[in-house]
Amino acid sequence: MTDQELDIQHRDPRLYNDDLAPIKSERRTWGWFEIFNVWSNDIQSLFGYTLAASLFISYGLNGWAVMAAIVLAGFVVMVLVNLTGKPSVKYGIPFPVMIRASMGVHGANFPAMLRAIIGIFWYGVQTYFASTAVSLLLTSLFGDPGGQWLGMTALDWLSFVIVWCFQIALFWQGIERIKHFLNWAGPLVYVVMVVLMLIIWFQAGSDLLPAISTIFSGASDYEGNSVTAFMAITGTMIAYFAAVVINFGDFTRFVKSEREMKLGNLLGLPLNVAFFSFIALIITAGTLALFGETLTNPSDIIDRVDSLPLTIVAAVTFFAATVGINLVANFIPPAYDLANLFPRRISFRIGGLITAVIAFFVGALWMSVISKIGIAGFVNALGAVVAPFYGIIVVDYYLLKRQRLNIQDVFSCESDGAYHYVKGWNRRALVAFALAALFSVSSVWVPALEALGGYAWLIGAALGGLFHYLLMLGQRQPVTTG
């Protein structure tokens, strides 16, 4: 697409604002390094480390097989995001605008708002977890003040407010400042994790290799066979990245070329995940050699090492890593989704502010209320429900639209517009979603399907694409412009 073709001639205010408009090539500043750091920040959170470390000791599988399963998951996710990222590289539009082509110019609000709800909820939760790193730092410097209100001490509350305000201040300065933060946070986390690995390695000495052998022996209480264990690990890692897979176009719209996107995905997914998992393996083995048990929580490891300088550096690093994943997976997507709902009144910044305000109460009440009432299970169910939209987007763009969109009609409410369908809604796509979502919901709530693990997301996406393709075969496809 040329920059002239990306000029929107008829800007319907119900569908258009400057934040949703196509980004022209001269304004795109992201390359492979920025995409690499999107993934670096996604995996390098407190939860990401714990997940990678626990996979080596939870399934009774040989360590090499665990590493292979993790790398395979990275390749699968790389293929998935290359497919969803490509249209936004070509047209410069975010996820909620891209999905108008398949769901209708008004129907796109349905998947966008589901994704927004999920993002806002987890943004609040991750803000709380990022604040625990700041609280660790403050407690190490000033001691534990004691006393609690709503499950948090005074230092916990101060830390939570600091993180909440920091994220808003960073977001308010625009996507370029967020890019710079991600580019700084990703490499910093790697440096600190490598240093921690070397410290543990040095302290463990000759006991490290036997500890690695113990982990690689695959001893655990897991009752399944090696094939199911391998599939469970791969599925778990795929499910971990699922939040970013659907709306990856929110980031690739800033990328200079498809080649840069694919290189960033290659380095940031299979290679990055493999290296990070190797670090997690060495550190976990070191804790077994040093403390007689496998510690998978970085905070517990830092506490056992008992070094104030290391605690300070680690706290800053964990804070940066968790804020990074929060911005990538849970902040930017809802900001675009809310802007898409009412473009005349909600800009990208206002959408982000709404996200932050609602998420404040989610994070503030996480310890005392929300974590105890099972709402996380409800939000996880919503996460499974949105899986069919991935299949619908990909099948619609690649098989039905043949990688060509009428970019003018994406922003048009006219009844003869290519994506108006029936009053702005594609009813066939809604039926495809509903049929596939029945399986997605069942995979979360029906115990008999629990064994599918992370593959329920992939199966839901595949069903969504299949049903959409079959239902749309009799639908005349719109005339496209390039």
Look at residue 298 and give its three-state secondary structure: helix
CB neighbour list of residue 306: distance below 8 Å, 6 or more residues apart? none
- Mean pLDDT score, 268-277: 89
- The angle subtended at Cα 301 by Cα 298 and Cα 307, nearest 5°, is 115
Q: Which residues pair with 30 in a beta bridge?
A: 255
In a domain, 437, yes or no: no
Q: How confident is the model at residue 372 (pLDDT cuts 50, 70, 90)?
A: confident
Judge whether residue 19 has pLDDT over 70.
yes
CB neighbour list of residue 255: distance below 8 Å, 6 or more residues apart? 28, 30, 31, 34, 35, 85, 89, 261, 264
Q: How confident is the model at residue 153 (pLDDT cuts 50, 70, 90)?
A: confident
Q: For residue 217, what pLDDT is reported?
A: 67
What is the number of structural domains in the chain?
1
Judge whether residue 169 has pLDDT over 70.
yes
Per-residue pLDDT tens digits for 84-96: 999 999 999 999 9
Closest residue by Cα to residue 298 from 280, 312, 282, 285: 280
Closest residue by Cα to residue 328 from 74, 79, 126, 132: 126
Q: Are 460 and 384 in contact (CB under 8 A)?
A: yes
The CA distances from residue 417 to 101, 137, 300, 311, 407, in Å, are 11, 56, 58, 58, 11
How far is residue 72's CA from residue 32's CA, in Å, rounded to a whole number?
21
Q: For residue 223, what pLDDT is reported?
A: 60
In a domain, 409, yes or no: no
- How many C-beta neighbours within 10 Å does residue 166 have? 17
- Mean pLDDT score, 10-23: 88
Q: Which residues pair with 425 in a beta bridge?
A: 422
Task: Check residues 306 and 311 and name the one with the higher pLDDT.
Answer: 311
Q: How confident is the model at residue 336 (pLDDT cuts 50, 70, 90)?
A: very high
Q: Are 314 and 306 in contact (CB under 8 A)?
A: no
Q: For residue 481, what pLDDT is reported?
A: 54
The CA distances from residue 59 to 99, 221, 228, 242, 293, in Å, are 38, 7, 9, 22, 17
Q: Which residues pair with 255 in a beta bridge?
A: 30
The residue to which tokens 């919901």 are assigned: 441
- Mean pLDDT score, 227-232: 81
How far is residue 424's CA from residue 447's CA, in Å, rounded to a whole number?
38
Q: What is the pTM of this model?
A: 0.88
Closest residue by Cα to residue 13 from 410, 349, 343: 343
Per-residue pLDDT tens digits for 427-440: 999 999 999 988 87
CA-atom Rg of the chain in angstroms: 23
Q: For residue 480, what pLDDT is reported?
A: 57
Residue 147 domain boundaries: 25-92+120-372
- Mean pLDDT score, 3-26: 83
Q: For residue 479, what pLDDT is reported?
A: 54
Round the average pLDDT of the chain to a whole number and report it.
85
Task: Check residues 54 and 257 and name the one with the higher pLDDT.
Answer: 257
Task: Check residues 57 and 258 and name the one with the higher pLDDT.
Answer: 258
Q: For residue 107, what pLDDT is reported?
A: 95
Judge whether residue 280 has pLDDT over 90.
no
Closest residue by Cα to residue 109 from 375, 425, 448: 425
Closest residue by Cα to residue 318 from 137, 98, 76: 137
CATH of the domain at 307: 1.10.4160.10
- How many C-beta neighbours within 10 Å does residue 44 have? 28
In a domain, 300, yes or no: yes
In a domain, 464, yes or no: no
| Element housing 284 (H / E) | helix 272-291
Closest residue by Cα to residue 266 from 77, 78, 39: 78
Q: For residue 96, what pLDDT is reported?
A: 94
In a domain, 458, yes or no: no
In a domain, 425, yes or no: no
- Mean pLDDT score, 300-321: 75
In a domain, 279, yes or no: yes
- The angle subtended at Cα 110 by Cα 122 and Cα 469, nearest 5°, is 115
Q: How confident is the model at residue 324 (pLDDT cuts 50, 70, 90)?
A: confident
Per-residue pLDDT tens digits for 101-120: 999 999 999 999 988 988 89
In a domain, 360, yes or no: yes
